[in-house]
Amino acid sequence: MKFLDVSGFGHSGKTVVADILKEIVGYQLPDYNFEFNLIRIQGGLLDLKSALVDNWSPIRSDSAIKRFINLVNRIGPKASIYVPSSLFLSNGMNYDSMFSEKFTKLSHDYISDLISITYEGYWPYSMIDRPIQEQFFSRLKGQFGISPKLVNIYLSDSSDFQLKTINYLTALFRTIKKENTDVFVLLNSLEPFNSEVGLNLLGDAKQIVVTRDPRDIYVSAMNVNRGFIPDFELKYMGLKRNIVGNDLDIFINRHLIYYKNVVNYTSSDRILWFNYEELILNYEESLNKIYDFVGVCPSKHINKGKYFDPKKSVANVGLWKNFDDKLAIAKIEEALYQYCWHN
């Protein structure tokens, strides 16, 4: 079983690639509303690898394991009035529902396999991640001579971390694998930043990254949300505060930071870069690049045009040309010229 991640920067048009892959036999896609965040999210697999493999210490090892367990307990269960604790724990990602009610169990089995030693002791570092109320009462007990609470301390020697992680993710996706599935397509599970590290955790995996003219990203986001971050109002104690999501300077600086932190823009045997515009305007040529990259015969593309029609999507290229705020477009072009589509 193989994995293929499709990533972008937001409104970059990565769903175009997802739609093309959806038309090919053997490629299984999740619901478009579900992004598999377990690798990239804080406390997730990349953070776990950093603490257990790249920058090991007893403090970081213990903290990363506990943080991962907490993450699993938060994103796994679906909130239900029949399970009162879930109303407090669940954050709405509902991974158990996405993985045949087996996500939490498989995840706990995985982290247990990574733990080499467990023992009880006084561990002041654990209190940093606990609620401030618990810290207060712990300090209060100390004033009355009550011994501090002993906690479980976890140590991992990081043996076979990558292999165990690959096996864990493979087992997870096998719970939803269809009979004819050869490749699972993940949406933005790695992001375009140093994604080679994340690919290694997926085993036999590749990534397609879609970039887009930032002028069109801005216009597209403005058309959908009235801003690249949705506007909303906060009312608290009679005060009204507007949080505006279309700040042009933030948009520009955010993209400059994003591109600065991309490790490599060039295509390789594991990562293929595409311009959204190229996918649409040079459709057939782009298809051949995709076929070659993923190693699929064109005859497997049996539903060609069913989900993605370049003739319709061409209307989404050059949106900035008809945008009313010409000054905003000019400012984006000046600051992000090298990332704009000039062909």
Tally: H helices and E strands in the chain: 15, 9
Structure tokens that stand for 323 in this block = 């945008």
Name the more confident of 78 and 68: 68
Residue-level length of the chain:
343
Structure tokens that stand for 10 in this block = 């937001």
Question: What's the confidence (pLDDT) of residue 232?
Answer: 41
Name the more confident of 59 and 11: 59
Query: What does the pLDDT average to over 230-258?
Result: 65
Q: What percent of the chain has pLDDT over 70?
A: 89
For the chain, the structural domain boundaries read: 2-208
Structure tokens that stand for 230 in this block = 């949705």
Cβ pair 7, 191 in contact under 8 A: yes
Structure tokens that stand for 255 in this block = 């993209």
Among all chains, which residue has been given the structure tokens 């300090």?
139
Question: What's the confidence (pLDDT) of residue 10?
Answer: 78
pLDDT over 90 (residue 89): no
Using N-to-C axis directions, what is the helix angle for 214-225 and 326-335, rounded to 10°?
A: 140
Write the pLDDT tens digit of every residue in 131-181.
767 667 666 766 777 767 788 999 998 889 999 999 999 999 999 999 999
Q: Distance between CA 169 and CA 102 in Å, rounded? A: 12
Question: What's the confidence (pLDDT) of residue 72?
Answer: 97
Cβ pair 319, 212 in contact under 8 A: no
Q: What is the mean pLDDT of the chain?
A: 88
Question: What's the confidence (pLDDT) of residue 222?
Answer: 85
Q: Distance between CA 201 and CA 127 in Å, rounded? A: 30
Q: How confident is the model at residue 79 (pLDDT cuts 50, 70, 90)?
A: confident
Question: What's the confidence (pLDDT) of residue 2?
Answer: 94
Question: What's the confidence (pLDDT) of residue 70?
Answer: 94
Q: How confident is the model at residue 303 (pLDDT cuts 50, 70, 90)?
A: very high
Question: What's the confidence (pLDDT) of residue 218?
Answer: 93
Cβ pair 175, 168 in contact under 8 A: no
Query: What does the pLDDT average to over 41-46?
Result: 96
pLDDT over 90 (residue 90): no
Q: Which amino acid is at 199?
A: L
- ∠ Cα 293 30 196 (to 5°): 45
Residue 26 Ramachandran class (φ > 0 left, ψ -120 to 50 alpha, else beta): left
pLDDT over 80 (residue 245): no
Question: What's the confidence (pLDDT) of residue 226?
Answer: 52
Question: What's the confidence (pLDDT) of residue 31?
Answer: 77
Question: What's the confidence (pLDDT) of residue 263?
Answer: 74
Among all chains, which residue has been given the structure tokens 């209307």?
315
Residue 116 has a CB neighbour count (10 Å cut-off) of: 12
Cα 326 from chain centre: 33
Write the pLDDT tens digit of every residue in 104-136.
999 999 999 999 999 998 877 776 777 767 667
**Pairing of β 151-155 and β 117-121:** antiparallel
How deeply is 284 buried, as exposed, middle or buried, from its count of CB atoms within 10 A (0-12, 13-18, 19+)? Answer: exposed
Cβ pair 201, 169 in contact under 8 A: yes
pLDDT over 80 (residue 266): no
How deeply is 115 buried, as exposed, middle or buried, from its count of CB atoms within 10 A (0-12, 13-18, 19+)? Answer: middle
Q: Which amino acid is at 79?
A: A
Q: Distance between CA 44 and CA 30 in Å, rounded? A: 20
Q: Distance between CA 183 and CA 27 in Å, rounded? A: 5
Q: How confident is the model at residue 93 (pLDDT cuts 50, 70, 90)?
A: confident
Question: What's the confidence (pLDDT) of residue 228?
Answer: 52
Structure tokens that stand for 92 in this block = 């709405």
Q: Distance between CA 200 and CA 166 in Å, rounded? A: 8
Cβ pair 70, 126 in contact under 8 A: no
Question: What's the confidence (pLDDT) of residue 236?
Answer: 42
Question: What's the confidence (pLDDT) of residue 219?
Answer: 92
Among all chains, which residue has been given the structure tokens 């938060």?
74
Query: What does the pLDDT average to over 211-224?
Result: 89
Q: How confident is the model at residue 244 (pLDDT cuts 50, 70, 90)?
A: very low
